[in-house]
């Protein structure tokens, strides 16, 4: 036998029945997004590397070490394109919105779902291909849209049955406010240089704000005593933050202020937030977002404010599984038992009619040219499929122009639930029997 080929490390197959949980979540998201008037956007997985280098910031973890980038083969002109598999979608959405001039007639509310790629150390809740669902509102400057997005996420948790989350918020102010804070932050960390780990020392002059985001418990003291960004915010930034908090309060969405919340990406300003759970160990951030009023301009668009979030699908589903939520059942309504292969053309025609009428039917499949297999083995398969009914295309039934419908899941009390005969010619008319 040939050598067994395996999936790439950190990239997962999503198999049935687990995939049913994914579809279930995606359906919930589509319905919810529609209720908030967010529209679906789909962008390519490959983008020019430059989009992410400029968009995400050159000194983020993602751009420094996590991107899957490669040089494409040269095209006719001999140019090599530097391409990257998207590590996130905000930059792509902004690129698409700018490229197609979507903001010229006002703001746009968009959402996406799909795979993202980051070369990280695979572990629970952290994969190299993972999936995000994201919502972005572009062209809106007011705090009510920040609030709307947070309310949308909270509504999603409620809709899918996630409880026990915590919402942390912070304000990063504006670049000029951050510049002042940055100087004092660097001074503080320089004073405590011996308490910094290697990562922090590397970031000290490139991105000191990110040091606040450290996951190293040994640095807790030096980070807790650092100057707080909120103390550097002017009246306008504070008013934006206060307006957001008032809307959250009025809607009963609990929040806590986390001065260390800065986000991994460089492009945020004003509002940042994370929904966190304690039930998933170290990878507890379910959803993260914030305002990024300068990104559109940075990617070459006409300046436009924007705000959004992205949630990690694997983490959300893991949490649902953890809390004992069952995978939605996958059983078909009916299983077609066909004793004689000669009946297949007629049987399949009937199944097509039933399916068109909304019935989910699994057909018995033979093991090849030597017949359909015994009735006993077909009924065993019918049982295992979880179907509620067997459709029996037997010789006697067919002779009378009928198919027999036999309940498979009837309890003992309903032993009388005998099989019934239904005309082949009129399958659409009795299809509801199988949906009952
Ligand atoms: P973390 O601090 O956990 O690395 P991040 O700041 O890199 O997160 P974002 O870029 O904001 O995360 O992505 C938003 C969400 O996507 C995260 O909150 C998380 O739920 C999910 N996510 C990010 N990276 C991964 C990954 N490698 N595997 C699975 N989910 C991920
Ligand atoms: Mg990360």
Hey, where are the domains in the chain? 18-173+233-322, 334-434
What 3-state class would DSSP assign to 73?
Answer: coil
CB burial string 114-138: b at 16+ within 10 A, e below: eebbbbbeeeebbbbbbbbbbbbbb
Dihedral, 28, 358, 381, 401 alpha carbons, nearest 10: 180
Q: What is the DSSP string of 195-241?
A: G--HHHHHHTTT-GGGGGG---GGGHHHHHTSPPGGGG--HHHHHHH
Interval 250-294: pLDDT, tens: 999 999 999 999 875 667 899 999 999 999 988 899 999 999 999
Residues with CB under 6 A from ligand 1: 88, 118, 120, 125-127, 130, 132, 264, 283, 285-288, 310-312, 314-315
Q: Whose CA is nearest to atom 9 of ligand 1?
A: 288
Binned at pLDDT 50, 70 and 90, residue 130 comes out as very high
Per-chain mean pLDDT for the chain: 93
Q: What is the mean pLDDT of residues 378-395?
A: 97
pLDDT at 319 over 90: yes
Share of the chain above pLDDT 70, in %: 97
Q: What is the pLDDT of residue 73?
A: 85
- Which pLDDT tens digit goes with each residue over 388-397? 999 999 999 9
Band of residue 417 on the pLDDT scale cut at 50, 70, 90: low
- Exposure string of 354-391, with b = 16+ CB inside 10 Å and e = fewer, is beeeebebbbbeeeeeeebbeeeebbebbeebebbbbb
Residue 87 in contact with residue 56, Cβ under 8 Å? yes
| pLDDT tens profile 160-169 | 999 999 999 9
Ligand 1: residue of 136, 207, 280, 288 to mutate (most ligand atoms within 8 A of CB) is 288
pLDDT on residue 413: 55
Q: Whose C-alpha lies nearest to ligand 1, atom 11?
A: 288
Cα separation, 6 vs 206, in Å, equals: 39
Instruction: State how far the Cα of 164 lies from the Cα of 224, in Å rounded to an integer.
Output: 25
Q: What proportion of the chain, given as a percentage, has pLDDT over 90? A: 83
- CA-283 nearest atom, ligand 1: 3
pTM over 0.85: yes
pLDDT in tens, 189-236: 999 999 999 989 988 988 898 899 888 999 999 999 999 999 999 999
What six digits make up the tokens of 362?
Answer: 């699994």
Per-residue pLDDT at 265: 65
Find the 175 Cα to ligand 1 centroid distance in Å. 24
User: 334-434, superfamily in CATH?
Assistant: Anticodon-binding domain (3.40.50.800)
Number of CB atoms found within 10 A of residue 71's CB? 10
Q: Going by CA atoms, what residue is nearest to atom 2 of ligand 1?
A: 264
* Index of the ligand 1 atom closest to the CA of residue 127: 28
| Rounded Cα gap, residues 358 and 75, in angstroms | 49
Query: In CATH, what is the architecture of 18-173+233-322?
Result: 2-Layer Sandwich (3.30)
Strand partners, 39: 110
Give the whole-angstrom CA distance, residue 247 versus residue 366: 61
Task: Assess whether pLDDT exceeds 70 at residue 45.
Answer: yes
Q: If we measure between CA atoms, which residue out of 423, 399, 400, 425 comes closest to residue 342?
A: 399
Instruction: From the CA of 309, give the closest atom in ligand 1.
Output: 14
Instruction: Beginning with the edge strand found earlier in the chain, give each strand of the sheet holding 256-257 in spatial order.
Output: 39-40, 108-117, 129-138, 306-312, 285-291, 269-277, 165-171, 256-257
What are the structure tokens assigned to 80, written together? 């090599």
Worst-scoring range by mean pLDDT, 73-77, 152-156, 306-310, 402-406? 73-77
pLDDT at res. 67 = 96
> Can you give the pLDDT at residue 200?
92
Rounded to whole angstroms, how far apart are CA atoms 155 and 176?
35
Q: Which residues of 42-60 are buried (b: 16+ CB within 10 A; e: fewer)?
A: ebeebbebebbbbbbbeeb
Contact 392, 382 (CB under 8 A): no
Q: For residues 380 and 378, what is the distance between their CA atoms, to the nearest angstrom?
A: 5
The DSSP 8-state label assigned to residue 161 in this structure reads: T
Q: Is there a contact between 266 and 57 (Cβ–Cβ < 8 Å)?
A: yes
Round to the nearest angstrom and report the end-to-end CA distance of the chain: 48
The pLDDT value given to residue 133: 98
pLDDT of the residue at 411: 67
Alpha helices in 228-386 (DSSP H): 235-250, 295-298, 313-322, 344-356, 375-385
412: pLDDT confidence band, cut at 50, 70 and 90? low
- The verdict on whether omega for the bond into residue 17 sits within 30 degrees of 0, i.e. cis, is yes
404, pLDDT greater than 80: yes
């Amino acid at each position: 036998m040939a050598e067994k080929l395996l999936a790439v490390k950190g990239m997962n197959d999503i198999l049935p029945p687990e995939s049913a949980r994914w579809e279930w979540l995606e359906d919930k998201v589509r319905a919810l997004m529609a209720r908030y008037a967010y529209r679906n956007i789909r962008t390519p997985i490959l983008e020019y590397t430059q989009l992410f280098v400029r968009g995400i910031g050159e000194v983020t973890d993602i751009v420094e070490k996590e991107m899957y980038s490669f040089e494409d083969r040269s095209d006719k002109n001999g140019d090599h394109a530097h391409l990257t598999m998207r590590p996130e979608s905000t930059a792509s959405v902004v690129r698409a919105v700018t490229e197609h001039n979507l903001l010229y007639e006002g703001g746009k509310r968009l959402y996406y779902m799909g795979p993202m790629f980051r070369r990280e150390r695979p572990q629970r809740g952290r994969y190299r291909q993972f999936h995000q669902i994201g919502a972005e509102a572009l062209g809106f400057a007011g705090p009510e849209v920040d609030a709307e997005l947070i309310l949308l996420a909270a509504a999603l948790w409620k809709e899918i049955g996630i409880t026990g989350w915590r919402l942390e918020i912070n304000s990063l102010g504006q670049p000029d406010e951050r510049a002042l804070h940055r100087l004092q932050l660097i001074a503080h960390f320089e004073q405590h240089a011996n308490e910094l780990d290697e990562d922090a020392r590397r970031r000290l002059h490139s991105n000191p704000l990110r040091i606040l985001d450290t996951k190293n418990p040994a640095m807790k003291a030096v980070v807790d005593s650092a100057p707080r960004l909120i103390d550097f915010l002017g009246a306008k930034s504070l008013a934006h933050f206060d307006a957001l908090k008032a809307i959250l309060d009025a809607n009963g969405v609990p929040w806590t202020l986390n001065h260390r919340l800065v986000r991994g990406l460089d492009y945020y300003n004003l509002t940042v937030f994370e929904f966190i759970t304690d039930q998933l160990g170290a990878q507890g951030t379910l959803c993260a977002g914030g305002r990024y009023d300068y990104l559109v301009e940075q990617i070459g668009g006409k300046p436009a404010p924007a705000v959004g979030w992205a949630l990690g699908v694997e983490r959300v589903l893991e949490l649902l599984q953890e809390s004992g939520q069952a995978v939605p059942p996958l059983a078909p309504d009916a299983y077609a038992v066909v004793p004689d292969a000669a009946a297949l053309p007629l049987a399949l025609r009937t199944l097509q009619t039933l399916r068109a009428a909304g019935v989910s039917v699994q057909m018995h499949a033979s093991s090849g040219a030597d017949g359909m297999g015994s009735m006993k083995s077909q009924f065993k398969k019918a049982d295992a499929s979880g179907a509620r009914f067997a459709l029996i295309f037997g010789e006697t039934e067919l002779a009378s122009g009928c198919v027999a419908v036999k309940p498979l899941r009837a309890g003992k009390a309903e032993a009388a639930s005998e099989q019934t005969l239904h005309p082949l010619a009129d399958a659409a008319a009795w299809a509801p029997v199988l949906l009952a």
